[in-house]
Structure 1
């Protein structure tokens, strides 16, 4: 029991990891949200979307609140859809601004989380990894108070550390099922995706299939062994750096800049969370 207590309650010199996480996540969400504003109506409106809401609504349970349902509700009480959409944008950015500044962190994060899920659940065709990790990030910021002492903050820190470890372990475990990551096929498919060849053409790797196999195996090994090496003080930071390097490659080769950015933030937060730890006295 003493070892469990010590593991979850460790004293640290500062809570920089949480401050970094809040600021970095807030900035990323702001940039991500601003980037979709020119196409906002095409993505999320009721009648003007590229994929009509009458199609996407099939996959939305009745109990789930999303942006089109909000628009329809306010329309029934005389508020025009354009007004609702504009108000949604203003509230979203305002809540992000207060979250960035750390004012009422939990309430601000909760508001942004509600609005962000309303967007994600509007159309499942547009959602991918960055949206899900954004929701998880906001959930952490909604439940972790800013003013906790280092000791009281430690269980939340451990929860985050364990969460990151589980994410990478099962990402690697999923890849070892089947043969596509063992023979380089998935790497070849990835670099030939239409949106992945706009910036850098590395299809020449097709002439060196052994490299595709090596890249696939290295990815599997890096993710599968992540939870074992990041907990080793002497090599933890190096494993995190390798993982960040992998996400930099994903960003520039596959053009998945936002997904890579949020995963880099998670890894840097993990790195900072391991710094300055010392066991509490039993």
Structure 2
């Protein structure tokens, strides 16, 4: 019974013990807001070709793969047209609203409400043009979801500066642990999926990836020499599987946390440079830093506080 109580206490502390460490929230809010805005600015010149009625792929075709109950951007356009608002006006309002909401998130001006509205708008754009969506878009949606859950504008925010509010004492540990478990599970099953096939074991997936039409367009590196050194492709494939499957085990272990964080971030930097998946890699790097880089500084802060605390205060409760 004593062991069960001890286990229960450890689980309770893991999920609910407040660590008074909120720097990661400001980092996550600002960095994600910047990345989402940069991603939108990158496609804004081609907005009409992707999301409007004159898109490259006709809306009738994309609507076949969209449920009737789901709110999409074409449906918003059609709805507003019934009130006499033309499509060009809706597009202009959407562009301005998207950028404005990103700025609100970055500056911390009611970022939770802004993230909620932006999430609805982002999903409407994403589901209305699902043929153009890829991994970064889905992680953008999940990032906005976490910005809604977290009190991300509680500190270092424009809202507090304007209204002269002090940061409130809020226990953010439950959501923080949810976020950490989310990324751990995502990496594990991504690695497991790779391990179940044979393409990642023999290096074939790496060879195909670096020769995709959109890959290696910026650095333009000649990888033909790898055909004579296929063992390097195998090593890279095995390393990817090891990093991803081992993530939930080694990222939580104090002695290997920094090493695994470095390996994972390095992997995404390689993906960004070679596969040109900059926004996807940037979001994943932000997720990793948000969840586990600040864990080190939090532990150091607690350890330093305990050192400064008188020995008698450690054994007696503070009343």
Q: Same fold (TM over 0.5)?
A: yes
Query: Matched residues in 2 for 1:208 and 1:125: separation?
Result: 36
Residues 105-254 of structure 1: pairs in structure 2 closer than 5 A: 105-146=111-152, 147=154, 152-198=171-217, 199-254=220-275
In structure 1, the partner of 2:27 is: 20
The SS at the match of 2:18 is strand
Q: How many residues were matched structurally? A: 280
- TM-score norm. by structure 2 comes to 0.84
Greater relative contact order structure (CA < 8 Å, 6+ sep): 1
In structure 1, the partner of 2:47 is: 40
In structure 2, the partner of 1:90 is: 96
CA contact (8 A) 2:216 2:273 kept: no
Q: 1:17 to 1:207 in 2, by over 3 A?
A: same
Query: Matched residues in 2 for 1:37 and 1:202: separation?
Result: 33
Moved over 4 A (4+): 148-151
RMSD: 1.7
Query: Which is worse superposed, 181-190 or 270-279?
Result: 270-279
Q: 1:87 to 1:151 in 2, by over 3 A?
A: closer
Query: Matched residues in 1 for 2:227 and 2:267: separation?
Result: 20
The SS at the match of 2:128 is coil
Query: Matched residues in 1 for 2:292 and 2:102: separation?
Result: 25
In structure 1, the gaps of 5 or more residues are none
Query: Matched residues in 1 for 2:55 and 2:255: separation?
Result: 52
In structure 2, the gaps of 5 or more residues are 1-7, 155-166, 304-313
Query: Matched residues in 2 for 1:269 and 1:54: separation?
Result: 40
Deviation at 1:151, TM superposition (A): 6.0
Deviation at 1:202, TM superposition (A): 1.9
In structure 1, the partner of 2:308 is: none
The SS at the match of 1:196 is coil
Q: 1:23 to 1:9 in 2, by over 3 A?
A: same
Query: Matched residues in 1 for 2:63 and 2:26: separation?
Result: 38
CA contact (8 A) 1:176 1:220 kept: yes
The SS at the match of 1:224 is helix
1:169-226 deviation digits (Å, cap 9, x = unpaired): 0110000112111101100110110111323232321221111111100100010000
Deviation at 1:3, TM superposition (A): 1.0
- TM-score norm. by structure 1 comes to 0.95
Query: Which is worse superposed, 269-278 or 171-180?
Result: 269-278
Q: 1:211 to 1:20 in 2, by over 3 A?
A: same
1:33-69 deviation digits (Å, cap 9, x = unpaired): 00001100000001x1111101111001111111111
In structure 1, the partner of 2:293 is: 272
In structure 1, the partner of 2:18 is: 11
* Match for residue 58 of structure 1 among 51, 56, 64: 64
